[in-house]
Structure 1
Amino acid sequence: MPSVPQYRPFLACFPYTTDNQSKKENKRTVEKLYKFSVDIGKIRRLKGWVLLEDETYVEEIANILQQLGADETAIASILERCPEAIVCSPTTVNTQRVIWQLVCKNEEELVKLIEQFPESFFIVKDQENRKLNIQFFQELGLKNVVISRFLTTASNIFHNPVEKNKQMIRILQESYLNLGGSEANMKVWLLKLLSQNPFILLNSSAAIKETLEFLQEQGFTNFEILQLLSKLKGFLFQLCPRSIQNSISFSKNAFKCTNHDLKQLVLKCPALLYYSVPVLEERIQGLLKEGISIAQIREMPMVLELTPQIVQYRIRKLNSLGFRIKDGHLANLSGTKKEFEANLDKIQAKKGRPLFNPVAPLNVEE
């Protein structure tokens, strides 16, 4: 390999070099942005390099947004949050517009998406891949609203060649069938998995195979592995066997249980596989500090899905109603925010209920 110099100039570590610093702002760009009521100061603070570019397309990009129905306020917001939009050529932006309209045909909704996720819209590379992947996802049966969510929050999957994404889908389908899943349920399972975690497409086929083999070696049946995949929304494939093994070993020691008992705990709370050892340790210690025992956690391991801050908040709420969590079951503590609030309402209603029914007739002798 070629030798690497031991030292480099300090400024070489930064893309914004003295060459850029010595350049002056493009006066025409600044004037045109002012025309659209854009906060120039905000751009200078966040992405000042855009103002130094010799060639920009402020009016052209604004016109495209206007054609979609964006008002002045929306245009200003988009250009402030994503000023690099003005260095994109109008041709590529128009192509992007056509591609996004494949899944978002309502222009008003499209403008809202662009205003909310301008960086995703103005990523104008790999446009042919993007178009072919959208068509492939539509053929799979994914709804346009789900695909539009992918465009805004999981744009990386569209950089994959469509053949790679097709290959990953085939591997997931084969894995599902090999684990005992039925052909009839496979499509529903696959679409649900993709909608919950599109990043699964960024995995490698070798990683998926390795993870499945590791779980089988740990004694999980095919049916149980399918359960884990569904409950963890496919995030299990993003873990390496070594990290899973570390979490399993820690949990086994923390709960003083056998391999069989630990497997039952994992099936109740698959997050035991997903969370790293430091996270599990922090959450168990947080529960112990609140007076909750290891035995209680073993009985309701799902409580480990809550952060220590959420646990403290919920315990205070329960204590205010006279419910001592450390003396009872943790069912009232765990669950989603909606489930916890419903439990609070039930406890409060029970507490305020009279000991006798005031409208019921009393059996007394006259």
Structure 2
Amino acid sequence: MLRSLTVSLMFCRRAQQLPRMHCSSIRQAENTSAVDALYNLSVDISKIRKLKGWVLYQSPVYVVETVAMLRTLGVRDSLIAQVLEHHPEAILCPPEHLEAQKELWMSICASHSHLVGIIEKFPASFFTSSCHIDHQRANVTFFQNLGLNKRVIAKLMASAPQNFTRPVEQNEEMVQALQKTYLELGGNEANMKVWLQKLLSQNPYVLMKSPETMRNNFNFLHKQGFTSSELLQLLSRLKGFVTELHPESMGLSLSYSQETLACSHAELRQIVLQCPALLYYSVPILTDRFKCLLGAGISLQQIMQTPTVLELTTQIVQYRIQKLRSYGHDIKTGSLELLNGTKKDFEMNCGKLLLRQERPLFNPVAPLRTDE
């Protein structure tokens, strides 16, 4: 009997480790009413069968109810078909849950059109499981009580729904850790709400990390000589990515950068403050980018003066250098500012170079000056 019990326990454990099978692997026939309803909406059934065919085997489904709710928001039929193709799980949501979701989202959305835009881009964030609604409500209330802008909360729940489907206590813990760190590093309490709002807006996934990870990273950077004000600057400029780093990887990247640039610890810290990307780019990525820049004839001194050029991929650097050369500009001399920046910045710089080339040496319309 003991042996039998042991075998049973082992079987249960094995069963728990096996991936769950979708109903499509058990049932033999699709839900024809669901397929017909989707077909009548001009939904590409073959796309659903290929990517999420298991949905078509479920029962009950709520195609009519889901479409009716979306139409009340002003969603056009072509967009409804698009949403259902990308996220067919929507038809599994009961009508009462859809109404609850609609009510919750409208408490943080400025208008129906605002919510429609979110459903179009993030359908999985709206059509969530009904078991998460209580967590969602509690988290929305928490962020509202923090004084965050409704639009920021909506963006947060749309782009990182995981933050809202877990217990509110977990978000409270991380937010409190961020606020405490901000103040300990010398942040102004009067500006803390704006700072937190900007941080969460730029990187909503910062809440998914642990306070311990953040503390370990700041302790490491402090040992590297960064002051409290500099650490606060990094926390803001890294957009919360400092919570996703690890002391080991940062140490390797910093050591490689210092060795390559042949600079002092103090110089390296100033370079990092200008280009925090040095902290989270791996050594292979940095090696590739340094090799690309140096191979183009760019000096280490130029890189140290404009380190943000290391944020550009090798493909972008090579393309921009070639284009600047076509305008007669030699990147080997002077600043790398022309090479640096966003695509829009670079195009503006190229436009200025083009104007210099086309500008005439004299104005042919202006009258010539003659001695009287």
TM-score (norm 2): 0.90
| Number of aligned positions between the proteins | 362
Deviation of 1:216 (Å): 0.9
SS at match of 1:330: coil
Q: Match for residue 146 of structure 1? A: 152
Q: Match for residue 41 of structure 1? A: 46
Q: Match for residue 86 of structure 2? A: 81
Unaligned runs of 5+ in 1: none
Task: Compare 112-121 and 13-22 and name the one that shifted more.
Answer: 13-22
SS at match of 1:333: coil
Deviation of 1:248 (Å): 0.5
Say yes or no: does 1:212 pair with 2:221. no
Can you list the C-alpha shifts for 1:290-343, whole angstroms capped at 9, x where unaligned? 222222212211100101111112112211111011233211101122222222
SS at match of 2:181: helix
- Equivalent of residue 76 in structure 2, options 64, 71, 79: 71
Task: Compare 44-53 and 134-143 and name the one that shifted more.
Answer: 134-143
Say yes or no: does 1:199 pair with 2:199. no
Say yes or no: does 1:294 pair with 2:294. no
Say yes or no: does 1:253 pair with 2:259. yes
- Equivalent of residue 274 in structure 1, options 256, 262, 280: 280
Q: Match for residue 122 of structure 2? A: 117
Q: Match for residue 102 of structure 2? A: 97
In 2: Cα distance, 1:200 partner to 1:262 partner: 26
Can you list the C-alpha shifts for 1:205-242, whole angstroms capped at 9, x where unaligned? 11111111111110001111111111111211210111
In 1: Cα distance, 2:134 partner to 2:37 partner: 31
- Quickly say closer, same or farther: Cα 1:18–1:102, change in 2 above 3 A: closer
Which segments of structure 1 move beyond 6 Å, counting only runs of 4 or more? Answer: 1-5
Can you list the C-alpha shifts for 1:35-93, whole angstroms capped at 9, x where unaligned? 22222111111111111123212112222222222232222222111111112222222
In 1: Cα distance, 2:19 partner to 2:279 partner: 39
Task: Compare 89-98 and 14-23 and name the one that shifted more.
Answer: 14-23
Give percent identity, aligned residues only.
48
In 1: Cα distance, 2:21 partner to 2:259 partner: 51
Say yes or no: does 1:321 pair with 2:356. no
Task: Compare 246-255 and 51-60 and name the one that shifted more.
Answer: 51-60
In 2: Cα distance, 1:119 partner to 1:183 partner: 36
Q: Match for residue 193 of structure 2? A: 187
Q: Match for residue 345 of structure 1? A: 351
Letter in 1 for 2:192: M
RMSD: 2.5
Say yes or no: does 1:126 pair with 2:132. yes
Say yes or no: does 1:365 pair with 2:371. yes
Say yes or no: does 1:237 pair with 2:223. no
CA contact (8 A) 2:148 2:193 kept: no
Q: Match for residue 59 of structure 2? A: 54
SS at match of 1:331: coil
In 2: Cα distance, 1:361 partner to 1:139 partner: 70
Q: Match for residue 3 of structure 2? A: none
- Equivalent of residue 290 in structure 2, options 276, 284, 288: 284
TM-score (norm 1): 0.91
Deviation of 1:26 (Å): 1.5
Deviation of 1:160 (Å): 3.1
Q: Match for residue 341 of structure 2? A: 335
